[in-house]
Amino acid sequence: MPLANKPMTETTSRDLFPGALEMMILESLRRQPAHGYALVQHIQQRSRNLLQVEEGSLYPALQRLLKAKLVKAEWGISSTNRRVRTYQITASGLRHLEQQISSFERMFEGIALVLDASKATTN
């Protein structure tokens, strides 16, 4: 992933690009409901620590998703017996995620083609 080169300065690590964090959150929640801390852990692990998401930046994204009713939240007790606020993806959240992923894939494919083409010409 060229996007996630390691020495991430403060300014570039906040958002990968608009909507990317939301997409990853939704994808994580599709697999299973989770609370904020677990979400951060999950995203970092899944990206093999290539994406060093500032933990706090999750919360504005979660609030945006809540407001758009793409996820819902509930207070409860976790398996480790902690009081947690668990997020769950909604039906419209699922739909939104599908759309986002397909449009992202198309975009990524396009970018990759352009990058490959330029590689081909320079070589």
Among 12, 17, 49, 56, binds other proteins (CB under 8 A): 56
- For residue 100, the number of C-alpha atoms closer than 13 Å in the C-beta half-sphere is 18
Instruction: Yes or no: say if 71 and 26 are a contact pair by the CB < 8 Å rule.
Output: yes
Among 55, 90, 100, 104, binds other proteins (CB under 8 A): 55
Binding track over 66-105 against other proteins, x by CB under 8 A: xx-----x-x------xxxx--------------------
Q: Which amino acid is at 102?
A: S
Residue-level length of the chain: 123
Site residues, other proteins (CB under 8 A): 35-37, 40, 54-57, 59-60, 62-64, 66-67, 73, 75, 82-85
